Amino acid sequence: MKPRVIDADGLILGRMASMVAKMLLLAENVIIINAEKAIVSGNRRTTIEHYKTRQNIRTHYNPIKGPFWFKTPHQLVRRTIRGMLPWKKDRGKVAYRRLKVYSGLPENLNVDEASIETFSDFSIDQLKGTFIEVGELAKEIGFKH
C-alpha cells in the first residue's frame, strides 16, 4: 500500500492531527512533510508559555526523571498526533508506527508532486484570530537548529 503524503504547510495542527489519527487507525501509512510550517491557533504568548511550563515539569523526589517533552518541530507534530490515538492499547501503538513526520521535504523521499495532499478545510484561511507556526514555537521553547 502506498503511503499518503500530507503537506502540513499552513494547516491548523489540531485539526490536521485528528484527521491523520483517523487515517492511521484505518490502517493507512501517513507521511507528513513541512511539519515546521503547521499552525498552532491561539494567542502567541499564552501558547509559548504553555509549552515552556510543560518543559519544566519534573518529579519532586527525582528531578532527573521525566516527563520529557520534545523541542524539535517534527517531534512536536508527532506527539500531538500521538495524543489523539489510543496510545495505551495495541491498536494505537501499531497505528503510531505507521506515521512518519519530517521537517521540510527529505531528499531520500521519492514522491511526485501530484501525490502530495493537503486539507483545504483545515488551512490558515479558516482562522480569524492569532496563531504561531510550529517552527517558531520550537525556537521559542529551546530548539537550536
3-state secondary structure of 132: strand
The DSSP line for 46-107 is: HHHHHHHHHHT---SS-TTS------SHHHHHHHHHHTTS-TTSHHHHHHHHTEEE-SS--T
Q: In what order do the strands lie in the sheet with 4-7?
A: 99-101, 30-33, 4-7, 116-117
pLDDT, residue 32, reads: 98
Handedness of CA 126, 3, 74, 68 (dihedral sign): positive
Structural domains in the chain, sorted by start: 4-140 (3.90.1180.10)
pTM of the model: 0.92
Tens of pLDDT, residue by residue over 29-56, are 999 999 999 999 999 999 999 999 988 8
